[in-house]
Amino acid sequence: MGEVENEAPAYLNRLAKQLAPSADVVKKTLKSKERIVHLLYLKSVVDMMQLQEIIVKPFYELPKEQNFADYIGSLPYETNMPSGDEDVLIEITKGNVFVMLDKQINLLELKMIASNTVQEAKMEPTIHGPQLGLSDSLETNINVIRQRYHQPSLIIETLQLEEASNRSYALVYDKDIVRPKLLKVLKKRIQSIDAKLIQGSSDLQHHMNDVKYSLFPTTLLTERPDRVLHNMAAGKVIIIVDGSPHALIAPTVFFDFMASMEDNYYSFWVVKLIQFLRYGGLFTCIMLPALYVGITSYTPDVFRTELALTVAASRIGVPYPSFIEVFFMLIFIELLTEASMRLPTTISATATTVGGLILGTAAVEAALTSNILVIVVSLVAISTFVIPISEMNYAIRVCRFLLLIYTTVFGLAGLVLGMLGLIIYLVNKDSFGEPYLRLFWKNRQEELEADEQ
Amino acid sequence: MSRFVYYLLISNMVANVIAAGPRILFSKSEQGAIVSMVLALFFGVFINWALIRSFKAFPGKSLPQILDLYVNRWISIPILLVLGTIWYIAGLQTLITYVDLLLRFLTPEMSVFTTLSMFIVVISFGVIMKSRSILFTLELVFVLLLPFAIYYVVKLYFSPQISWDHVKLAMTFIDNPPNYLVFSTTLFFFTGTFDIIILNSLFKKKMTFGLKQATLVFLLGVFTIFTTYFIPIGVLGFDRIEDIIYPWIFTSDSIRMKYGVIERVVFIFLLIFLAIAFLNIVIHWHISFNLFENVFRLKKSMTDKGKTIRTCLLLVVFWVVAFLVTVKLTEYDLFTYSSYYFNLMFVVIIGLLGLLWVLNRRAKS
Amino acid sequence: MRNSPIIKVLIMALLLGSVLLQTGCAFKDIDKRLFVAAVGIDPSDKFDKGFKVTLKIALPFGAIKSSTKPGYAYISEEGASVGEAIRLLETHVDKVLELGHMKTIVIHEELLAGHLQEFMDYFVRRADIQQIAYVAAARPSAETILKVEPSTEAPASVALFNLFGDSAIESPFIVTTYLFQLRRDHLAKGINSVLPLIETNEKKDELIVNNSVVISREKEPVILSIVETKYYDSLLKGSTGFTYQVKNDQLKLLLDISESKMSYKISESKNQTPKTIEVHIKLKGIIGESNKKLSVSKLDEYNHMASKEVQKKAYHFFKRMQEENLDPFGFGLHYRSTRLHRRDVVKMWENAYPTIEFKVKADVKLQSTGTIE
ipTM confidence? 0.91
Burial class (CB in 10 A: 0-12, 13-18, 19+), B146: exposed
Residues of C in contact with B315 (CB under 8 A): 7, 10
CATH of domain C235-373: 3.30.300.210
Instruction: Tell which of C31, C67, C95, C102 to mutate to test the A interface (max A CBs under 10 Å).
Output: C31
- Write down the pLDDT at residue C348: 86
Residues of A in contact with B115 (CB under 8 A): 410, 413
pLDDT-derived band at C7, boundaries 50, 70, 90:
low
Query: For residue B99, what is the nearest residue in chain A, using CA coordinates?
Result: A413
Of A74-88, A245-259, C61-75, the range with the lowest mean pLDDT is C61-75
CB-nearest partner of C64 from A305, A313, A408: A313
Cβ–Cβ below 8 Å for B172 and C187: no
d(CA B229, CA B247): 10
Query: Quick check: A421 pLDDT over 80?
Result: yes
d(CA A72, CA A55): 8
C4 close to B305: Cβ distance less than 8 angstroms: no
Q: Distance between CA A125 and CA B336 in Å, rounded?
A: 63
Contact criterion met (CB below 8 Å) for A315 and A290: no
Window 174-203 of C, Cβ < 8 Å to B: 178, 180-181, 183-185, 187-189
C33 CB within 8 Å of a chain B CB: no
| Cβ burial A340-370 (10 Å sphere, 16+ → b, else e) | beeeeeeeeeeebeebbeeebeebbeeebbb
Q: Place A353 in a pLDDT band, splitting at 50, 70 and 90.
A: confident
B235 touches chain C (CB under 8 A): yes
Residues β-bridged to residue C42? C52
The neighbouring-strand residues paired with C51 are C43, C79
DSSP H or E stretch at residue A364: helix A360-365
Q: Distance from C349 to chain B by nearest Cα, in Å?
A: 14
The chains found to touch B (3+ Cβ pairs under 8 angstroms) are A, C
Output b/e per residue, A194-227; b: 16+ Cβ within 10 A.
eeeebebbebbbebbeeeeeeebbbbbbbbbbbb
User: Does C27 contact chain A (CB < 8 Å)?
Assistant: yes
Rounded to whole angstroms, the Cα distance separating A427 from B364 reads 38
Q: Does C9 touch chain B (CB under 8 A)?
A: no
Structural domain boundaries in chain C: 29-224, 235-373
- State how far residue A224 is from chain C, nearest Cα, in angstroms: 34
Angle subtended at Cα C231 by Cα C225 and Cα C235, rounded to the nearest 5 degrees:
150
Residue A412: pLDDT over 50: yes
**Calpha distance A438→B334 (Å, rounded):** 36
B317-B319-B325 Cα angle (round to 5): 100
Cβ-defined contact of B236 to C333 (cutoff 8 Å): no
Instruction: Please tell me the predicted confidence (pLDDT) of residue A6.
Output: 56
When pLDDT is cut at 50, 70 and 90, the band that residue C4 belongs to is low
Spatial contact of A138 and A240, defined as CB atoms under 8 Å apart: yes
C340 to chain B: closest CA residue: B172
Instruction: Find the range with the poorest average confidence among A106-120, A419-433, B26-40, B234-248.
Output: A106-120
CB contact residues (below 8 A), chain A span 303-322, against chain C: 305-306, 308-313, 315-318, 321-322
The verdict on A417 touching B (C-beta cutoff 8 Å) is yes
Q: A84 to chain B nearest CA, in Å? A: 42
Q: Are A258 and A283 in contact (CB under 8 A)?
A: no
* A433 touching chain B per CB within 8 A: no
What are the helix and strand counts (H, E) for chain B?
15, 0
How much of chain A exceeds pLDDT 90, in percent? 13
Q: What angle do CA C312, C317, C319 make, to 5 degrees?
A: 95
A252/A248 Cα distance (integer angstroms): 10
pLDDT at residue number C236: 83
Handedness of CA A323, B279, A284, A220 (dihedral sign): negative
Q: Which among C14, C26, C178 is the nearest to B107, CB-wise? A: C26
Residue C268 near residue C299, CB atoms below 8 Å? no
Q: Phi, psi at residue C136, to the nearest 5°?
A: -145, 155
> Nearest Cα to A405, choosing from A282, A290, A287?
A290
CA dihedral sign, ordered A340, A341, A344, A346:
positive
E strands, C139-271, in order: 193-200, 207-215, 222-224, 242-247, 252-268
Contact B204, B59 (CB under 8 A): yes
Read off the pLDDT of each residue in C10-15 and give the average, rounded to a whole number. Answer: 66
pLDDT at B185: 92
Which DSSP symbol is given to A94? T
Interchain CB distance below 8 Å, A299 and B106: yes
Contact B267/A at CB under 8 A: yes
Assess A68–C contact: CB distance below 8 Å, yes or no: no
Question: Cβ separation of C11 and B254 shorter than 8 Å?
Answer: no
Run of H or E residues at A37: strand A36-42
CATH number at B270 reads 1.20.1740
Chain C residue with Cα closest to A320: C29
C163 shares contact with chain A (CB less than 8 Å): no
From chain A, pick out residues whose CB is under 8 angstroms from the CB of C130.
Answer: 301
Q: Which of A296, A305, A405 sits opposite C161 (nearest CB)?
A: A305
Rounded to the nearest angstrom, the minimum Cα separation between B348 and chain A is: 31
Distance of CA A250 to the CA centre of its chain: 11
Provide, as residue numbers in chain B, all residues whose Cβ is less than 8 Å from the Cβ of A421: 121-122, 125
CA distance A158 to A142: 10
Of A305, A322, A409, the CB nearest to C22: A409
- Structure confidence by residue, pLDDT tens digits, A358-383: 888 888 888 888 888 989 998 998 89
* Residue type for position B238: F
SS3 at position C222: strand
For residue C200, the SS3 value is strand
The mean of the pLDDT values for chain A is: 83
The predicted pLDDT at position B8 comes to 92
Of A301, A310, A313, which is closest to C128 when you measure between CB atoms? Answer: A301
Report the alpha-carbon distance of residue A68 to residue A65 in Å, rounded: 5
B117 interface with C at CB cutoff 8 Å: yes
The whole-number average pLDDT for the span C328-352 is 86
pLDDT at A2: 40
> Chain C contact for A201, CB < 8 A?
no
DSSP code at position C139: S
Output the pLDDT for position A445.
Answer: 56
pLDDT in the model for residue A4? 45
Q: How do the pLDDT tens digits run along chain B, 365 residues long?
A: 788 899 999 999 998 888 788 888 999 888 888 999 999 999 999 999 999 998 888 888 889 989 888 888 888 889 999 999 999 999 999 999 989 888 888 888 888 888 888 898 899 999 988 888 999 999 999 999 999 889 889 988 998 888 899 999 999 888 888 999 999 999 999 999 999 999 988 888 778 888 999 999 999 999 999 999 999 999 998 888 888 888 898 898 888 888 777 888 888 888 888 999 999 999 999 999 999 988 887 655 667 787 888 888 889 999 999 999 998 888 888 888 989 999 998 999 999 999 999 999 988 87
List of E strands, chain C: 33-43, 51-58, 72-79, 96-98, 104-108, 134-138, 193-200, 207-215, 222-224, 242-247, 252-268, 274-290, 357-368
Residues in chain B: 365
- CA nearest to C34, candidates B48, A312, B136, B336: A312
The minimal CB distance from B114 to the residues C22, C181, C189 is found for C22
Is the minimum CB–CB distance between C220 and chain B shorter than 8 Å?
A: no
Distance from CA of B219 to the nearest CA of A (A): 22
Would an 8 Å CB–CB cutoff place B336 in contact with chain C? Answer: no
Helix (H) or strand (E) holding A416: helix A412-428
Which residue of C lies nearest to A212 if distances are taken between CA atoms? C5
Residue B29: predicted pLDDT = 87
Q: How do residues A171-216 score in pLDDT, each as one tens digit? A: 999 888 888 888 888 888 888 888 888 888 888 888 887 777 788 8
Half-sphere exposure of C45 (CA within 13 A, CB side): 3
For residue B245, give the nearest of B15, B36, B26 by alpha carbon. Answer: B26
Contact B237 C18 (CB under 8 A): no
What are the distances in angstroms from CA A58 to CA A28, A52, A54, A72?
Answer: 16, 9, 7, 10
Q: Which residues of chain B does C2 touch, with a Cβ-Cβ cutoff of 8 Å?
A: 128-130, 311
Contact between chains at A298 and B278 (C-beta distance less than 8 A): no
Chain A contact present for B140, CB below 8 A: yes
What residues have CB less than 8 Å from C260, skipping those under 6 apart? C234, C235, C238, C239, C240, C281, C282, C283, C284
Distance from C-alpha of A173 to C-alpha of A183, rounded to nearest angstrom: 9
Q: In this model, does residue A90 exceed pLDDT 90? A: no
* B132 in contact with C, Cβ within 8 Å: no
Domain that holds residue B214: 3-364
Q: Please provide the DSSP assignment of B97-165 as one string.
A: HHHHHIIIII-TTS-HHHHHHHHHHHHHHHHHS-HHHHHHHHHHHHHHHHHHHHHHHHHHHT-TT--HH
- pLDDT, residue A415, reads 93
Rg (CA), chain A: 29
Compare C161 and A279 and report the one with higher pLDDT: A279
Percent of chain C with pLDDT over 90: 19
Distance from CA of B133 to the nearest CA of A (A): 5
